[in-house]
Structure 1
Amino acid sequence: MAGDTNKKKLVGRHKRVAFMDVTGEGTTYTRMTGFTSMSEGKNSSEYSRQYVDESSERSDVVGYAPSIDYEFDRYTNDLVQEKIAKVTDDELLGSDAQVTVVMVDLFETKADDANTCTARKRDWSVILDTEGDGTDALIYKGSLKAAGEIIKGTATTTDGWRTCTFATE
């Protein structure tokens, strides 16, 4: 049917994009490009029990320990990759090894405005794994592990989603 607004559409992986605060100012976020892998695991914590008068166990989610496994081909003149590489190469610790990332759902626009989308912001600790893997490109691998609460809001762009700003809902 033409004009059917209830028709399901498959969401492509490229429609959820990540942006990082590379300056530490918390105003503009730069798109994370050149990543060959960026998958998020929620790592939920459960409270499970079985009551004596029931035949099956019950479970409730009582917490999360989110992490994002990443892998990227190292490029020069990429501020996001430079920031992660500095943490890795200089073996930074504590808050020096933390980054702020905004995940933007390009498939969820606000008020029919393709320049404003649903977004979630969180601070993450960069957990190093390996660098130097591969023979064709210098590859960095690791995880980002949650270092703060998730903040839901919107992201807005003025440059075709090369950068964005974030506003809390």
Structure 2
Amino acid sequence: MAGTKTKALVGRHQRLAFLDVEGEGTTYTRMTGFTSLSEGKEATEYSRQYVDEATERTDVVGYATAIDFEFDRYTNDPVCEKLGAIVDDEKVGTEAQVNIVSVDIFADDGKGNCPARKRTYSVIPDTVGDGTDALIYSGSFSAASEFVKGYCTSSDNWQTCTFTEGELPVE
């Protein structure tokens, strides 16, 4: 069939995460060394059954999104240093918040633009040092804002990226 696209499985490595290390909102640094980075949506439901219906209805009315994380601590890694400082120094409030961009590199538009979502998260530490081979940090990033849709570009093979709010450019 002409024009039919082949379906392909998306690898986990094709959704990348980047952290705003400097806190300036311009350049985001790739989050490497993570052995776990899974997002839980934790949907809030509103369920009810009407007297004239046999089946209960359920609507999603909100989310409490969180990303469980686990990473091996590396030296000279700006993401590890930023997160390590938050956890080790037991920072609270806005000092314990980070901006993370999730980028779908599998959906590149052919011009180097990839769909992305940016959100502010609170770093919720769990454990440090769980392991004998490496210094391991674990916890979760809990949503502290709504997400913003946009797209990312990279000039260094996705070691860093820039985020632009809005739809992918159409030419």
Task: Please give the range of the TM-score, normalised by the shorter of the 2 chains.
Answer: over 0.9
Distance in 2 (alpha carbons) for counterparts of 1:6 and 1:98: 41
**Equivalent residues in 2 for 1:106-125, closer than 5 Å:** 106-110=105-109, 112-113=110-111, 115-125=112-122
* Alignment deviations for residues 59-97 of structure 1 (CA, whole Å, 9 cap, x no partner): 000000100000001110110011111010000000000
* Alignment deviations for residues 19-66 of structure 1 (CA, whole Å, 9 cap, x no partner): 000001110000000000000001000100011111111000000010
> What's the secondary structure of 1:82's corresponding residue?
helix
**Shift of residue 7, structure 1, vs aligned partner:** 1.7
Q: What is the identity, as a one-letter code, of the residue corresponding to 2:41?
A: K
**Equivalent residues in 2 for 1:12-161, closer than 5 Å:** 12-110=11-109, 112-113=110-111, 115-161=112-158
Indicate whether 1:162 and 2:129 are aligned.
no
Distance in 2 (alpha carbons) for counterparts of 1:134 and 1:107: 33
TM-score, reference length from structure 2: 0.94
Moved over 4 A (4+): none
**Shift of residue 108, structure 1, vs aligned partner:** 0.9
Distance in 1 (alpha carbons) for counterparts of 2:4 and 2:119: 32
Unaligned runs of 5+ in 2: 167-171
> What's the secondary structure of 1:38's corresponding residue?
strand
Unaligned runs of 5+ in 1: none
Distance in 2 (alpha carbons) for counterparts of 1:25 and 1:132: 30
Q: What is the identity, as a one-letter code, of the residue corresponding to 2:139?
A: G
Distance in 2 (alpha carbons) for counterparts of 1:138 and 1:98: 22
User: Which structure is higher in strand share?
Assistant: 1
CA RMSD of the aligned region, Å? Answer: 1.0
TM-score, reference length from structure 1: 0.96
Distance in 1 (alpha carbons) for counterparts of 2:3 and 2:42: 37
- Out of 26-35 and 5-14, give the one that drifted further: 5-14
Distance in 2 (alpha carbons) for counterparts of 1:150 and 1:61: 17
> What's the secondary structure of 2:107's corresponding residue?
strand
**Shift of residue 6, structure 1, vs aligned partner:** 2.1
